[in-house]
Amino acid sequence: MNSPNPPFKALIAAGKLDLPVRMRRNRRADWSRRLVRETALTVNDLIWPVFIIDGVNRREPVASMPGVDRLTIDEAVRAAARAQALGIPALALFPNTDPALRDPQGTQALNPENLVCRALRAIKKEAPEIGIICDVALDPYTSHGHDGVLRGEEIVNDESVAMLVGQSLNQARAGCDVIAPSDMMDGRIGEIRKALDAEDFEHVQIMSYAAKYASAFYGPFRDAVGSGGLLKGDKRTYQMDPHNSDEAMREVAIDIDEGADMVMVKPGMPYLDIVSRVKREFGVPTYAYQVSGEYSMIMAAARNGWIDADNAMIESLVAFKRAGADGVLTYFAPAVAEKLLKTL
């Protein structure tokens, strides 16, 4: 039985309402644009990656990352206090290890007095409410710049996993909140989860770099942690082929099954399709890393006057949220947080 009052959409579809379509009405005023906005970026979406160096009261600029400094531990504590004041939920720590302390096995990763562990304890003492995410991979500690143990020409999987488990426990004992394996060794999430639980670290979360690609966008990061000039060969035998998408879904599924609490896609912007697929297919907390190359391209263009840095950084982060990311690791975090707070 037909309704005596056909619905509005049905009338339009039947061509019985001659109404002009004016999409611009909702864009006319700022208040209206905000009312109809579909995607929101807030301070709660930001994770700030911080590079740590030895020394006292020193900030060392990263030449290939304008505006980013390597920080001594006391400076990192001040950065954590700033992040906490801005409402940024978490920092991600990355050490630049003295070359004299690096070796083929990356044994400095197991040292309870290494840079990350000392920074963890100092930050937790002064800024206890900030979350701390710790990278788990051997490249900041190996003399060859790879994420695992090198035997001949091969990065050996199981021996590397054993080292990564030890590194994870070392960081958990120092107060790490979130273990973030970025190495892409097979089976490491399950082994790390078992080891953490066995030592009563059930509360420590795992954010897996589940889909990490062998990307050309990592160069400035490697400079920042001091591994770029050391790298022998490349990382294509363990990081993902940029051509693949279905393989990323398998990687994510495996890591979730092994106990990952959150997953990450790295790099970010060139892989927004992967971010979207992961969130849509698995529905788990999903993060993206706006990597050093992405950051440096925006900053270089801005410094040449080719783009507006503030608007570009916001627009790039909104793209991650629109794709489905729950949060983003970004070197823009403090600048974006300050800009967002000014708009409140």
Sequence-ordered list of residues with C-beta below 8 angstroms from that of 321, at least 6 positions apart, any chain: 39, 40, 41, 45, 328
Is 1's pLDDT higher than 70?
no
H-helix segments, 36-156:
73-86, 115-126
Is 35's pLDDT higher than 60?
yes
What three-state secondary structure class fits 286?
Answer: strand
H-helix segments, 199-271:
219-225, 246-258
Report whether CATH 3.20.20.70 matches the domain 43-342.
yes
Sign of CA dihedral 293, 299, 304, 305: positive
C-alpha to C-alpha distance for 303 and 309, rounded to whole angstroms: 8
Name the residue among 218, 230, 212 with its Cα closest to residue 64: 218
pLDDT-based confidence at residue 317 (cuts at 50, 70, 90)? very high
Residue 225, pLDDT score:
87
Count Cβ atoms within 10 A of the Cβ of residue 15 and give its class: 0-12 exposed, 13-18 middle, 19 or more buried: exposed
Taking the complete model, does pTM exceed 0.85, yes or no?
yes
Name the residue among 284, 201, 312, 184 with its Cα closest to residue 238: 184
Is 12's pLDDT higher than 70?
no
- Domain ranges in the chain are 43-342
Rg (CA), the chain: 22
Name the residue among 155, 119, 160 with its Cα closest to residue 137: 160
271-298 average pLDDT score: 98
Residue 342, pLDDT score:
84
pLDDT-based confidence at residue 11 (cuts at 50, 70, 90)? low
Express the helix, strand and coil content of the chain in percent, nearest 5 each. 45, 15, 40
pLDDT tens for each residue of 285-309: 999 999 999 999 999 999 999 999 9
- What is the DSSP pairing of strand 286-289 with strand 131-136? unpaired
Residue 222, pLDDT score:
85
Count the neighbouring beta carbons within 10 Å of the beta carbon of residue 9.
9
pLDDT tens for each residue of 206-226: 999 999 999 999 989 888 888
pLDDT tens for each residue of 124-162: 999 999 999 999 999 999 999 999 999 988 999 999 999
232-249 average pLDDT score: 94
Count the neighbouring beta carbons within 10 Å of the beta carbon of residue 334.
18
331-341 average pLDDT score: 96
| Percentage of the chain lying above the pLDDT 90 cut | 85
Residue 3, pLDDT score:
56
C-alpha to C-alpha distance for 15 and 147, rounded to whole angstroms: 62
Give catalytic residues, as residue numbers. 212, 266
pLDDT-based confidence at residue 4 (cuts at 50, 70, 90)? low
Contact between 181 and 211 (Cβ < 8 Å): no
Contact between 220 and 265 (Cβ < 8 Å): no
Start-to-end CA distance of the chain, whole Å, equals 52
Is 231's pLDDT higher than 90?
no
C-alpha to C-alpha distance for 289 and 279, rounded to whole angstroms: 15
